[in-house]
Structures are given as structure tokens and as C-alpha cells.
Amino acid sequence: MSESWPVAEVLSGGASDVPTAMQRRLYEDMILLRSFDERAINLQRQGRIGTFPPSLGQEASEIGSAHALRASDWVVPSYRDHGALMVHGLPLSNVVLFAMGRTPSLSSALRALPTSIPISTHLPHAVGLAIAAQKLGTDDVALAYFGDGGTSEGDFHEALNFAGVFKAPVIFFCQNNGWAISVPRARQTASETLAQKAVAYGIEGRRVDGNDVLAVYQVVSEAVARARRGEGPTLVESLTYRLGPHTTADDPSRYRSAEEYQDWKESRDPIQRMAGYLMAHGLLTAEEDQAMRQAAQERIQAEVEAAEALPPVEPAGMFQHVFAQAPSDLAAQRRRIEEAVPHA
């Protein structure tokens, strides 16, 4: 079965049709995402933000896929997809606010749903957005993100079934990073691949080297083009690896070996691979690379300062945007908090 689902080859000289400017942009955004995640981990350790899920090692999957979209398309993220949201237009300061448990963490002008913490519950919503685009007569698409563990949830199967029946213009982008927290990919399913699950629902399935940003960009761009032409959904399995913890509350050394980590870090790190590709083809110098990294650090510092400069959160704000008409017990709790904290 695996021969029917070829993994894209690592791109090298002349193999890519991606414009040079886009190749550099993809690399620059990967640098920004990794720099942000490293800073966010430090912020969490300092108690300045809450639990945080870094994208370390998955930068090519997130950045390459998100750049295949246009502004009118929908991004439907899981909890680890702040890089995709960033590409789609979300300021990094909003990501910091989300990690602080504050509003506004999502811009109303952005075509993206809020980050989904439950596993795969957002996938049917992505199908709904895609069907809405069909009914409105637009060629907009929806791109939904989830991990390999998400394919074990009922919502995944329901979403693919509806999408296949209605030929919804939706791309299901599975970042197969090998681990659903501590559960290895081999314990998720007996299927040889995750992409082949598309067959049961009559939709297209693709596998791609998720640590090759150019391959990800090309494969997702092709899936987006198919969806815009009315040819239906695609399930993309992006083979990548989570170099960091599942979240800052996780210790990956308890369930995976140091040898496994080192193998991926030393031979398949997506940023090292893209840097080597660009430099080998005269598209990036060491000086330009260093300037990109410095610019990323400066931008992140400004975004963190912007988030931390906001006034303190009012405790009663936790009751907002939950119910159109609050139940009596919650209304009573809010009154007690407002009485105890006059400025709330």
C-alpha cells in the first residue's frame, strides 16, 4: 500500500518551481516561528505565560502549508498551529495573549477559527466553512490542522465522510510528528499510512516529507488548487517530528529515546535543511541568515512587550463570550466577583 502514497523527495537544484522570493520568505518565517517558540518556552518557565505547545521541528509543515492559502481562505487550527496563524496574518502578540489566557487573542478580521484544544472537534467545523463557501459561490477553501493522534477520534472520520459526500473544498492537514503526547504512531492505527484513510471516504490522499518546506508548499498548493476547481477535499499526511515537548508541561524523555531525538535533530531538522538548500544554490548567505535571525529576535521582543504592556485583566472578564444569556449560578458568581473587585 505504501507505494501508492509516495513521500515527496527532498528538493535540490532545479527540482522546485517555487519562486526564489517565496523560498526565502518560507525560510524567514520558519526562523521566526522557531525563535518565537524558544522565547515562549522561556516566558513560560519564568511564569509570564501559561502552558505552551511549541512547534519545534514542525516549522516546515506549518509554514509551508499556510503559505499555500490566500487571505480569504479559512485556517482552522489545533493547539500547535500558531505558526500557520502567524502566516495568515495573526500578530505574535496575540499568540502571547492566548498563552496568558487573555483577550483579544484572535483578530476578528482574520479568517481563522480560535485555537482548538480538544482533539479533532474542529474538523467538522472546517467542513462547514468549506460548504458555506460552496453555497456562497466563492472558490475559498478551508485548511484544517491536526496531529496523528487526531485520526483516532470520531470527529476525524465524520468530517472526512461529510467532506467526501459534498465534495467540500477543504484540506485536512495531518502533521504526523510520530507521537500523540506519549502514544507512538504505531499504537494509533494498524493502517500502514494515515494518508490511505482518505480512500475509505472517496477523497484524495497525499503524503509529503513534512520537514521539506518546499515540498509541503507544493503539495498543499496542489490540494488547494484542486479544491478551488471543485474537485473536492484532500487529506495530506505531513511526515515530521516534534523536537520539543508536547507542551511545556510534558517531559518527552519519559517516553522516547535520546537516540531517536538526536537522529531527527542532526539529520532532518527542517531549518538546517532549508538553510543548506538555499546556501548551496546561492540564494542565502551566512550574513543574510544571521540578519534574519536578529530581525526575528527584535520582532519577537517588540511583540512580547506589546502584550505585557496591556492593563491587568479584570477577573469578571472570564464570564464574557461564554453564554448569550448566562445561567443563574454563573450570573451570581459574576456579581460576587464584581462586588469583591469594584473595578471589574
Where in the sequence numbering do the catalytic residues fall?
242, 246, 255
Tell me phi and psi for residue 147, to 5 degrees: -105, 175
CA–CA distance, 57 with 60 (Å, rounded to integer): 8
With CA atoms as reference, report the closest residue to 233 among 330, 133, 142. Answer: 142
What the block records as the C-alpha cell of 103 is 483577550
With CA atoms as reference, report the closest residue to 54 among 34, 74, 71, 70. Answer: 34
